[in-house]
Amino acid sequence: MKKLNEVLIGTGTEIYREIIPLTLLGLTGSAVLVPAILFLPATLTLLLLPLIYMPLIFGSFYAYHRKTEGKKLSVRSMLGGAAKGFAPSFLLGLLLALLGLILWSTWWYYGGRGSLAGRAVAIFQTYFVAMALISQFYTLQLVIQREMGIFKAMGESVKLFFRHPAYTIGAFFQAVCVGVMLAVTVVGFFALFNGMLAVYSHKAVHNVLNPEEADEAEEGQATGNAVYAGRERL
């Protein structure tokens, strides 16, 4: 398997090459996200995001996956993927909304008490929600790359999390860090986040699902270095 820094470097290179279509994907998703944040109540926004925004994220993932198969990266492909993956992305979105609701209600109920026991419960629940969230890092890509059903993909994602805990936590943390850095510019987040996440998620998950590709590349590089060293001696 490749190291995470190699995955991140590859992601940056790909984003540079495909900056215009990836920006269009991001702006299409933001066309739903921005009005929901600005004009709708928080509870309605929480319901709307799984219903509309998560399918658009799935569509971005799908569009980039099709690009790796030789197809054109376009908004049309994204919208087609969003329609195709509406059910699985909606169900995953509901799960994420539920986790967010659990976290909010826990801190509202226990965190406001001011007691040490209440804060301990809130911290434990935060850890539980964070691990549950990270364990679903692979889900949508498994639906796309392995054509799994959503529930099977959720279970397989948990298995991959336990099989590669450090890699999964690191990959999730990197995605969050890049998202936070983009959020500082605001415009950069709304224009690039969806496209960036599509590229990074595909490469990070593909690396886990196809570790032999990285091994073959390393073997080829080692062979090339050995041949070069032999020529230098001659």
Between the alpha carbon of residue 144 and those of residues 52, 60, 64, the distances in Å are: 18, 11, 10
Q: How far is 209 from 203, CA to CA, in rounded Å? A: 10
In this predicted model, what pLDDT tens digit does every residue of 49-58 receive, in sequence order? 777 889 999 9
How would residue 97 be classed by pLDDT, with cut points 50, 70 and 90? confident
The mean pLDDT of the chain is 86
pLDDT at 79: 92
Closest to 125 (Cα-Cα) out of 106, 98, 100, 101: 106
Sequence-distant (≥ 6) Cβ neighbours of residue 166 within 8 angstroms: none
pLDDT at 175: 92
Q: How far is 92 from 51, CA to CA, in rounded Å? A: 10
Between the alpha carbon of residue 141 and those of residues 47, 147, 174, 226, the distances in Å are: 23, 9, 17, 37
- 83-92, 129-138, 212-221: least confidently modelled range: 212-221
pLDDT at 89: 94
Q: How far is 38 from 136, CA to CA, in rounded Å? A: 28
In this predicted model, what pLDDT tens digit does every residue of 177-220 receive, in sequence order? 988 888 888 778 888 889 999 999 999 999 999 988 765 554 54
In this predicted model, what pLDDT tens digit does every residue of 143-165 receive, in sequence order? 999 999 999 999 999 999 999 99
CA atoms within 13 A on the CB side of 170: 14
pLDDT at 163: 95
pLDDT at 222: 43
pLDDT at 148: 94
Closest to 135 (Cα-Cα) out of 105, 104, 99: 99
Q: Is the pLDDT of residue 75 over 50?
A: yes
Q: Is the pLDDT of residue 43 over 80?
A: no
Q: How far is 102 from 51, CA to CA, in rounded Å? A: 19
